[in-house]
């Protein structure tokens, strides 16, 4: 199948959506980030990466090793939360306090930066690390804080979550995240092919959609 089918799914997402991308440790989620970047360029949309604890650097490093060109990817605008690796065009920094994110301060920095009258593609990378480091009460608070951004029509947010890592620490988190998110996608890898399944969707047009993508097609 072609990447055009993935673009068809993304095009049905609405401003204000919070999309959860569930992936496993061996599924190379950085490839999906690359596809979101390419979609944003093709459709003349701004893209803002929320980089938690150097996850963006990890993604770019793996993409480069896989043979993808970093040019363009490492010029994306970034709000950086914690970590020491500076990649991308960092437009704001938010400190992590005991591995917890100050969402009020983040929201302030986001509103100061975001272009008016534009809808952003907003990948959120590394949020699962906060869940792993948090205790149960902090995890509930984190879910609640994420829920307050649902419906923010200035963006379409994509939360990349290593769901098995989170399930092992706090089994209640993934079901709660699936509930608050407007769309849930599952990303898998089989050999040199990637699979995307729509588990939940706000748009009936894409509910239950399933596509496969070959690595060599993505790299064309």
Q: How confident is the model at residue 1 (pLDDT cuts 50, 70, 90)?
A: low
Domain CATH for 28: 3.40.50.11570
Report the predicted TM-score, pTM, of the whole model to 2 decimal places: 0.96
Q: Where are the alpha helices (DSSP H) in the chain?
A: 3-11, 29-42, 55-66, 103-113, 127-133, 136-147, 163-169, 173-180, 215-218
Phi then psi for 65, rounded to 5 degrees? Answer: -65, -35
| Residue span of the structural domain in which 149 resides | 3-218
So what's the pLDDT on residue 83? 93
- Between 35-39, 100-104, 152-156, 210-214, the lowest mean confidence (pLDDT) is in 100-104
So what's the pLDDT on residue 70? 84
Q: Which residues are CB-contacts of 49 (< 8 A; sequence separation ≥ 6)?
A: 56, 76, 77, 78, 79, 88, 122, 123, 125
Number of domains in the chain: 1
- Three-state SS at 82: coil
């Amino acid at each position: 199948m072609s990447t055009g089918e993935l673009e068809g799914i993304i095009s049905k997402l609405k401003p204000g959506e919070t999309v959860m991308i569930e992936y496993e440790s061996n599924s190379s989620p950085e490839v999906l980030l690359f596809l979101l970047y390419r979609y944003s360029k093709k459709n003349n949309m701004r893209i803002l990466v929320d980089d938690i604890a150097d996850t963006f650097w990890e993604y770019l490093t793996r993409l480069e090793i896989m043979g993808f060109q970093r040019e363009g990817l490492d010029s994306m605008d970034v709000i950086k939360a914690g970590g020491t690796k500076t990649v991308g065009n960092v437009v704001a920094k938010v400190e992590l306090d005991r591995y917890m994110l100050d969402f009020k301060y983040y929201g302030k920095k986001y509103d100061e930066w975001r272009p008016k009258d534009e809808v952003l593609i907003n990948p959120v990378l590394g949020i699962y690390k906060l869940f792993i480091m948090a205790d149960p009460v902090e995890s509930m608070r984190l879910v609640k804080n994420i829920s307050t951004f649902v419906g923010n029509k200035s963006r379409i947010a994509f939360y990349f979550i290593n769901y098995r890592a989170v399930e092992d620490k706090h089994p209640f988190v993934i079901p709660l995240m699936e509930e608050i998110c407007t769309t849930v996608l599952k990303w898998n890898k089989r050999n040199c092919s990637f699979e995307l399944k729509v588990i939940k969707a706000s748009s009936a047009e894409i509910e239950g959609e399933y596509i496969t993508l070959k690595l060599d097609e993505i790299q064309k």
